[in-house]
Every structure is written in structure tokens, then in C-alpha cells.
Amino acid sequence: MPPSTMWMNMGYWKHTQSFPEACTALLEKVLQTARLLSYDKRPLDISDSSALRIIDVGCGCGDQTIYLTQRLCRMDKHGLGSGSRPLFDDYVGINVNQHQTDFARQRIESTAKDNSIHIFSADAADPRSWSYELKNAVTAASQQESGTKQSATIQTWLLALDTLYHFKPSREPLLSYAARQLNASFMAFDLILADSITLIDSILLRIVCFMSSIPFSNFKTLSEYSDMLVRAGYAADKIEMHDISESVFSGIGAYMEQREVELKKFKLSLGKLRVAGKLFSWWGRNNVSSNWQIPTSLPAGLVSVFVGGTDGIGAATVKQLARHAREPRIYIVGRSQKSGNRVVEECRKLNPNGQYTLLLADVSLLSTVDDICRKIQEKETAINLLFLSAGNVGADHETSEGLPMTMALVHYSRVRFILNLLPLLRRADDLRRVVSVFFAHKEGHFHPDDIQARHISVLSKRSHIATMVTLSLESLAKKAPEVSYIHANPGIVKTKSRDMSLVMRAASSFIGSFSSIPLEESGERHLFLATSAMYRPSIQHHEKDDAHDPACGVPLEIGLTPAIGSNGQTLSGVYSVDWDGETYELHLETYLQKLRESGDLEELKKHTESEFKRITGSVPSGR
């Protein structure tokens, strides 16, 4: 038995989480913009002497055909749908897929009340290839039994609902034919490139185009799209476009992610669609609209500590928080007085109402970490955000405390900061979050016999330490489940890498020249990770949909759902977030679960505590 609905578009998810409802809403949004449907979903008053004809390219399996021909009718003199005459007097559907066309015809034949509905299998992108019957159907005057007079005013509409970017080699021949030969008005949902598209967005889009057999040349900017319509024959002053991306990509991305998770249970997959789903999710998740809600969703006076905040990703995120938060109090911890002063000055320009405190320190030393934490504890009774980004894989010398530099910065120092400041994080009434920036989603072989990674390669070291970061956050979450913890992978970002070896800097520079993320954009993304309710603590004051716990962060837009945690469960409180926003991979979750069961997590905890005692003489309780 085929499913009851077979809609095929991205959907408009502003008011629903149901795929069929979202698909219907997208069609309604296009009709409303074309002023054929009111915003209370009633057809607008159209003269009885006017005939409306519609040519629907890419009509799918019949759902939108049924909606357009059977659910919409003309208004009577009282402003009510009389049901005696459909809104469109004549419908022509075109679909390149013969099987879908046959199925749509069967559905329509079983429900249609007249013979004004025609569905053809043809390549809509190439009107020259159309059969005589199809050309006659789209050009013949509408003379139906509805009583339309031959002298009636005939208005023809071309509808393309989420289809035109698939057309090969281009959508332009169809648009020119519609404008010049049919004198047809045009309404569509289509994809348009942002003028400021990043190189990495462009590369990923090319990958999706290749996987989906979509011509990349079909993706145009707003001005390019307008120019194309003018060339086709449409008047420039009559062109109207609306950006609804915020209500599209996040919803369809979340839906496809959920479907992928459900299918994985049966060892099935979305296949090639998974790539598109990841891209939609990334576009939706990393949309800065969530950041713009910070002033209204989070209280004034958020207290944040940025370790590694004088440069790179930390500094970029500091500035984004200063831009968006109300009266923030931000502690910026770093080594460089010059860089730190610059960041503070830029923050003051972005938001003069904030308080920005620079704390100079070498955070590779645990004794210095304790000193910095004491200074913060003396001034604050609660902290909302601890953001840790100091350190990378390239540094291989030892600190004066006898720790390998990379391990000191990425593991020991970060765990020490969290344990010292965890009591203040737990006291916060609102947002409570820890973000540790390293190589999330690259967790791999853990070496329990070489925890400090003194005798393994750089690539093995990366996955080894990434595993340590995620497992350490899981251990800390057991102490304070009311706090959420994120291990973030920033991807390749255009930032300085002075602590890397020469070879690592050269490799990073070469790869980054092709696919790096602008630093400002990375700051926007990390602010999203730091403040969005997508990454919730495992213990919440309110778990019902209608009662938002302020500790969760900025509420999610309709269509978005909480992220899946490092243990494969939603609301787990610990999240390993890749550069594209992905939080779940079955093989990673399976591997981490084996480590939890093996006792390696407990061994890592004991080792860390023993080093704390050796160097400082104490282990913070975190309570």
C-alpha cells in the first residue's frame, strides 16, 4: 500500500513539525505571496468572468495537484468558498518521472470531478521537446463546463514548487517560454545564493549538486536571479522575492536527521539524501537568527569566562557575545597584553554597556589556573558560560610542571578550570554551559598505556585527546548534570596557529586556502553552540514543551529539535559537535560506549587526579 501522502518539497516549518503539513504550508506560502490565497488560507476574491489557468512543473505524485484543483474554490458574494467552481479553471501538470506521472494520474482519476486536469510526463526544462498534446494543453484557451465565456479574461500562472534548481541545463528556457509564448505570471519556491556565501559553503553545495545531479550553475544570487527573470521577459518592477530560509532549512534538516536516526536502527540509510540533509541542518543550525534572539531570550548581565579569549576562535566568540548580549560581564583569559587590549577595546565599541576584564595568564600551568579561578571567585557568585579554546595538537614541549604542552592546555588545564568554576556554574539561575573547543567527532583509539600521548603520532594524538575531552566532559556531567557540556570541532578556520609545528602550519594553510571558515563566522557558530537550547543539560527544571527552562538557552525555532548527545540519546547533557553541526555518528557512539564499559573512563579520571595532586597537592571537588 502506498502512503496516504507523497509530498515532495522542503516544507515551510514555521508552525508545524509534520512533514506533510510543512509541504502543504510551503505551497500555501507561495500562493499567498502570489496573492491567490489569503493568509487565513481562503482564496481571494476573483471575478467570475476571469479564468485562471495553472501550469505546475514538477507536480510530483499528485498531492499538490489535488490541493490546487480540489481544495481551493472561488469565493461567493458573501466571501465564502462556494465549492461550485474551483479556483483554477484549468490545470496542467508536468513531471519528468513517468512512474510518478502514472501514479498521479491514477490518484486524480479516482477523485476528479471534471476533465480540466491534465498531467503529462515530459522534460519541463526543455519546451522544445514537448509533445503536440502538451503544447496544445498549455496554450489552448480554457473552455470548461464551468460556464467560462470565450471572451473571458484568461490569466495563466506558471508554478514551480521546489523544482527549478534541478532543471538541466538551466531553468531559463522554461521561463522565457512562459513569459514570451504563454504570457504567464510566475510563482515559485526556489533556492538563491547569498551574496556573501563562504568558500566552504560553496564547496559543500558543489558536493551536494554532484551527489544529486543538480547543475551548480542553477544557483544564483538575488541580483543574478532578477536579471535572469528580466532576460526571460518579466518586468523588473514586478519581481517580488521573499527570504523564508529560516523556516525551511532548519525544519527539513531536523526531519531528515531524525529519519536517518530511525533508519539506522534497521541498518538502513537515506543514501545520497543524507548529504543534502546534513547541509540543510548545517544551514539551519548555523543561522545567526538564534544569536539575534539572545537579548530577548537571555537575561542581562550574563557572566562568561573565555580561556583563550585574546585570539582566534575565543576572541571571535567573545566579540559576538558582546554584540548580542545585554550588559554582559566577560572575563577574557590569555597570554598577550596587546591582543587582549585589542579585544577589550573592540568589545567596548560593540557594546559600551558591557564589562570586559582581561586576565593575563599562562594557562598551561595548573598553579596559574587556580590563581585565575580565585580572582573570578572573589568577584562573582555565579557563572553562565565557561568557554575553553586555548591549545592545539602542534605544541610538543613540556611545561615547567612536567606536562606535555598540548596535554596541559587541552586536558589538564581545562578539567581544572571546570572543576574550580563548576560551583559557580551550578549557582547560575539561567544559562549554565561549558564549551571546550578541540576535535569533536574525531574521537578514536584511546591509549590507556600512554595517556599523555608521549609516544604516538600527531594524527593518533588528535583522536586520542579528542576522546579524552569527550569522556572527561561525561565524567564532569555526572558531578553537575544541571550544566550542559559541549565538545566542539570548529573545522578549518582562518586563524593564527603560532603554537603549531612548521609542517602543521603549512598543511593547515594549504587546506585552509580551499575550505576555511571566516573567523567572524566561526565566532557566530560558536556563540550558537554556547547559547542555543539545542544543547540542553540532562537535568532541567521544565521538561515539557510549554515550559522552557532558562538554563537551556535560547529557545529553538519550530522545526528544530534538541541535539543527540555523545551517548546516542537526546537531552544527555554532553554533546560532541562536528564543524557541520552533526552530533551523532553510530560508530563513534558505539566506540565510546565500549570505553565506558572497559573502565578506561575511570582510569583517565584517576590519572588526572593523580597529576593534580602531584602538581598542586589537591583535587577540586566541583561542588
Q: Which of 283-292, 417-426, 468-477 is least confident?
A: 283-292
Average pLDDT over residues 425-445: 94
Is 90 exceeded by the pLDDT of residue 413? yes
pLDDT in tens, 143-202: 443 344 444 578 899 999 999 999 999 999 999 999 999 999 999 999 888 766 666 667
Contact predicate 531/291, CB 8 Å: yes
Say what the pLDDT of residue 70 is. Answer: 83
Is 70 exceeded by the pLDDT of residue 424? yes
Is 80 exceeded by the pLDDT of residue 468? yes
Average pLDDT over residues 89-93: 91
Contact predicate 376/417, CB 8 Å: no
The CA-based dihedral angle spanning residues 477, 478, 482, 484, taken in that order and rounded to the nearest 10 degrees? 10
Q: Provide φ and ψ at 491, rounded to 5°.
A: 75, -160
Q: What is the DSSP letter of 371?
A: H
C-alpha cell of 347? Answer: 568589545
Q: What share of the chain has pLDDT > 70, as a percent?
A: 79
The three-state DSSP-derived secondary structure of 321-341 is HHHHCCCCEEEEEECCHHHHH
pLDDT band at 544 (very low <50, low <70, confident <90, very high): very low
Domain ranges in the chain are 19-140+151-191+221-242, 244-287, 300-541+548-589
Give 232's contacts (C-beta < 8 A, 6+ positions apart): 172, 175, 176, 178, 179, 180
Peptide bond before residue 423 is cis, with ω within 30 degrees of 0: no
Instruction: Give the residue carrying C-alpha cell 565566532.
Output: 523
Say what the pLDDT of residue 148 is. Answer: 45
Most trustworthy range by pLDDT among 81-85, 173-177, 264-268, 445-449: 173-177
Say what the pLDDT of residue 272 is. Answer: 52
Is 90 exceeded by the pLDDT of residue 226? yes
The CA-based dihedral angle spanning residues 574, 577, 582, 584, taken in that order and rounded to the nearest 10 degrees? -40
Extended beta strands in 546-607, E state:
574-577
* Alpha-carbon distances of 608 from 398, 411, 423, 483, 492, rounded to whole Å: 17, 9, 19, 21, 29
Is 80 exceeded by the pLDDT of residue 428? yes
In words, the CATH class of domain 300-541+548-589 is alpha beta
Determine the Cα–Cα distance for residues 205 and 210; give it in Å rounded to an integer: 9
C-alpha cell of 8? Answer: 515532495
The more confident residue out of 323 and 562 is 323
Q: What is the DSSP letter of 15?
A: T
Say what the pLDDT of residue 381 is. Answer: 96
Instruction: Give the residue carrying C-alpha cell 557572566.
Output: 303
Say what the pLDDT of residue 200 is. Answer: 60
Average pLDDT over residues 317-335: 96
Say what the pLDDT of residue 334 is. Answer: 95
Most trustworthy range by pLDDT among 247-251, 405-409, 541-545: 405-409
Say what the pLDDT of residue 157 is. Answer: 94
Q: Would the CATH topology of 19-140+151-191+221-242 be identical to that of 300-541+548-589?
A: yes
Extended beta strands in 355-399, E state:
355-360, 385-388
Average pLDDT over residues 572-580: 89
The more confident residue out of 145 and 564 is 564
Determine the Cα–Cα distance for residues 48 and 153; give it in Å rounded to an integer: 10
The more confident residue out of 69 and 347 is 347
Is 80 exceeded by the pLDDT of residue 17? yes
pLDDT band at 563 (very low <50, low <70, confident <90, very high): confident
pLDDT band at 13 (very low <50, low <70, confident <90, very high): confident
Average pLDDT of the residues of the chain: 83
pLDDT band at 3 (very low <50, low <70, confident <90, very high): low
Average pLDDT over residues 319-334: 96
pLDDT band at 484 (very low <50, low <70, confident <90, very high): very high
Say what the pLDDT of residue 570 is. Answer: 84
The more confident residue out of 203 and 465 is 465
C-alpha cell of 168? Answer: 538541466
What's the pTM?
0.63
Determine the Cα–Cα distance for residues 408 and 190; give it in Å rounded to an integer: 50
Is 80 exceeded by the pLDDT of residue 108? yes
Helix (H, G, I), strand (E, B) or coil at 63: helix
In words, the CATH class of domain 19-140+151-191+221-242 is alpha beta
Contact predicate 91/54, CB 8 Å: yes
Say what the pLDDT of residue 4 is. Answer: 66
Say what the pLDDT of residue 12 is. Answer: 92
Contact predicate 21/255, CB 8 Å: no
Is 60 exceeded by the pLDDT of residue 589? yes
The more confident residue out of 604 and 544 is 604
Say what the pLDDT of residue 141 is. Answer: 40
Is 90 exceeded by the pLDDT of residue 476? yes
Q: Which one-letter amino acid corresponds to residue 176?
A: S
Most trustworthy range by pLDDT among 45-54, 235-244, 486-495, 608-617: 608-617
Average pLDDT over residues 199-210: 69
Helix (H, G, I), strand (E, B) or coil at 359: strand
Average pLDDT over residues 265-290: 57
Say what the pLDDT of residue 435 is. Answer: 98
Q: What share of the chain has pLDDT > 90, as a percent?
A: 50
Helix/strand/coil percentages in the chain, nearest 5: 45, 15, 40
Average pLDDT over residues 578-589: 77
If one counts every other C-beta atom within 10 angstroms of the C-beta of residue 487, the result is: 31
Say what the pLDDT of residue 560 is. Answer: 66
Pairing mode of beta strands 153-161, 90-95:
unpaired
Is 90 exceeded by the pLDDT of residue 571? no
Say what the pLDDT of residue 112 is. Answer: 62
Is 70 exceeded by the pLDDT of residue 33? yes
Say what the pLDDT of residue 113 is. Answer: 61
Say what the pLDDT of residue 436 is. Answer: 97
